[in-house]
Amino acid sequence: MNWEALHRLSTPELRELADSLGRGRLAVGWSTAVLERQFPGSGGRLAALLSTLQREGYAAGQMAVLVDAVLAERVSGADPGRLVELVLSGPEVPGVPTADTPAQMRSLFEAAQTEVLVVGYAFYNAAPMFAPLVERMRAVPGLRVVFCLNAMAHRPATDPEQALQHFAAEFRRHHWPWPELPEVWFDPRSLSTGSERASLHAKCIVVDRRVALVTSANFTAAGQERNIEAGVLVRHAPLAERLAGYFEGLIKSAQLSRCVVAESVG
């Protein structure tokens, strides 16, 4: 169904349309001419939309509820502060509020209900950062946790397979020592020794495909506690869904490979 007719209306016009459908002149019927007089330039499109809704069994009052929903979404989205929050870590500056990156991560993990996606480049002794996520996995059986990582290891390796083994071992020893295992995926290009070498350099967390933290901070003590880092916390489900969907697409298209981590820490 084409909702363009509603999105083209101004906010006052949406309110007028909802009122007219719920209690006013449009509650008893409409025509293109009537709609054009009330909403100049939009009468034809509105008539087509309302007629389609009517054929699908919607009464005028139900249409008013739909218009109210569109209006509520627009009003709630009018204040960017309700959708996007800056996450700035570093020395405090008078008059500029900061949101502590580790605190935001913990809040996200503690609120998860169905899925947590963690995308990262550099990790260093990150287990304390992920302890709240493990607690959440234990509290919410079936919570899916997915890591998409750059396959770096601190110890040098002579071939890609050895490098991947070092990476998996370091992940279990220093970043995820618990028995509850997440899915771990990596970009195989990061192991290349040729000109095609590339890095998975993104840093973000997506929870339940409804809220996302996109940040410059790596999962290291420096990145989380000492560096000056900038990020945004986005509470907008379509954007979070799109971000999570991108990495899911990389997995499904085999552009990311599964990293098998040991069941126990050796």
Of 77, 98, 115, which marks where a domain is finished? 77
Residues 11 and 128 in one domain: no
Of 40, 58, 77, which marks where a domain is finished? 77
Residues 59 and 104 in one domain: no
Q: Which pLDDT tens digit goes with each residue over 114-156?
A: 999 999 988 888 899 999 999 999 999 999 999 999 886 544 5
Q: Classify residue 266: in a domain, yes or no.
A: no
Q: Which pLDDT tens digit goes with each residue over 249-264?
A: 999 999 999 998 877 6
Residues 103 and 191 in one domain: yes
State the pTM of this model.
0.68
Q: Classify residue 135: in a domain, yes or no.
A: yes
Q: Classify residue 265: in a domain, yes or no.
A: no
Of 47, 77, 107, which marks where a domain is finished? 77
DSSP string, the chain: ---HHHHTS-HHHHHHHHHHHHTSGGGG---HHHHHHHSTTTHHHHHHHHHHHHHTT--HHHHHHHHHHHHHHHHHHS-HHHHEEEEEESS-BTTB----HHHHHHHHHHH-SSEEEEEES-BSS-HHHHHHHHHHHHHSTT-EEEEEE----SS--SSHHHHHHHHHHHIIIII--SSS--EEEE-GGGG--STT-------EEEETTTEEEEES--BSHIIIIIS-EEEEEE--HHHHHHHHHHHHHHHHTTSSEEPPPPSS--
Which domain, by its residues, includes 99?
81-258
Query: CATH code at 92?
Result: 3.30.870.10
Count of domains observed in the chain: 2
